[in-house]
């Protein structure tokens, strides 16, 4: 019996079905352990959210698409191996990506103590040895040379790259998960940084348009 079994029993059956359907639509294959880890993350997030207000999404069925599948949709563009998730909140997208791609070395960065406490609890309960939660403001974070820096937390693309400019390696990338638009923000990018690729994301069960902007240093 899986050590996650008691946690998984707290979820309605609809959650696993929705997760399975969504991953299938994204073309992502998982083994049983990864599936249990994703469901365990959902169970923990739903449980903690009632007390600590980690996310505005209240219903666990909605968390499947808004959090797990939204995070999983960028998997084809994540290369790592060193990945930094800035403004990770409760560990999104970083924990989801660490589960789906165990070869990644994921650092979760957030300044909010209760969210980092949740990250640490999730890492422990899910048995994730490739995830390191860090509580710090991005301006004060001194680690460097990440292969990719990802975020879905920044409203401003310019703020994202400006505050994290010292963190990617020389040939590293920024991955900005955004809603529609962003053309004006792209025109305002700081000197020396350019748009490398733009990908529209189809997130199962979500009508809202999502896109991934991949930025890098100009050569």
Mean pLDDT of all residues belonging to the chain = 95
Q: Write the pLDDT tens digit of every residue in 81-116.
A: 999 999 999 999 999 999 999 999 999 999 999 999
Domain range enclosing 69: 5-217
Q: Per-residue confidence at 3, pLDDT binned at 50, 70, 90?
A: confident
> What is the rounded distance in angstroms from the CA atom of residue 57 to the CA atom of residue 55?
5
Numbered residues of the known binding site for S-adenosyl-L-methionine: 87, 92, 138-139, 152
Percent of all residues in the chain with a pLDDT value above 70, rounded to a whole number: 100
**pLDDT above 80 for 2:** no
Predicted local distance difference test score (pLDDT) of residue 143:
86
Contact 185, 156 (CB under 8 A): yes
Task: Tell whether the model's pLDDT for residue 168 goes beyond 70.
Answer: yes
Sorting pLDDT into bands at 50, 70 and 90, what band is 56? Answer: confident
Percent share of the chain, pLDDT over 90: 83
Tell me how far apart the alpha carbons of residues 12 and 100 are, in angstroms, rounded to a whole number.
Answer: 22
The pLDDT score that the predictor gives to residue 1 is: 44
Q: Given this model, what pLDDT does residue 141 score?
A: 95
- CATH at 28: 3.40.50.150
Higher pLDDT, 67 or 3: 67
Annotated binding site: 87, 92, 138-139, 152
Question: What are the DSSP calls for 72-135, one per residue?
Answer: HTTGGG---SEEEEET-TTTTTHHHHHHH-TT-EEEEEES-HHHHHHHHHHHHHHT-TTEEEEE
* CA neighbor of 91 nearest in space, from 73, 74, 114, 75: 114
Q: Quick one: average pLDDT of 173-183?
A: 93
What domain count does the chain have?
Answer: 1
Q: What is the pLDDT of residues 123-149, one digit of tens each?
A: 999 999 999 999 999 999 988 799 999
């Amino acid at each position: 019996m899986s050590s996650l079994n008691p946690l998984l029993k707290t979820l309605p059956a609809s959650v696993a079905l929705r997760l399975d359907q969504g991953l299938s639509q994204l073309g992502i294959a998982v083994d049983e352990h990864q599936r249990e880890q994703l469901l365990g993350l959902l169970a923990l997030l739903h449980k903690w959210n009632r007390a600590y207000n980690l996310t505005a999404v209240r219903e666990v069925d909605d968390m499947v698409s808004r959090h797990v599948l939204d995070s999983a949709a960028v998997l084809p563009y994540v290369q790592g191996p060193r990945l930094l998730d800035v403004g990770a909140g409760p560990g999104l997208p970083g924990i989801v990506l660490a589960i789906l791609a165990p070869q990644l070395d994921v650092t979760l960065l957030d300044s909010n103590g209760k969210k980092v406490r949740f990250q640490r609890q999730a890492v422990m309960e899910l048995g994730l040895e490739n995830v390191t939660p860090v509580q710090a403001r991005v301006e004060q974070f001194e680690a460097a040379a990440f292969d990719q820096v990802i975020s879905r937390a920044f409203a401003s693309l310019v703020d994202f790259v400006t505050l994290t400019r010292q963190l990617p390696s020389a040939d590293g990338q920024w991955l900005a998960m955004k809603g529609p638009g962003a053309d004006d923000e792209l025109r305002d990018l700081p000197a020396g940084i350019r748009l490398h690729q733009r990908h529209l994301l189809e997130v199962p069960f979500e009508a809202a348009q999502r896109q991934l902007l991949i930025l890098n240093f100009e050569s």
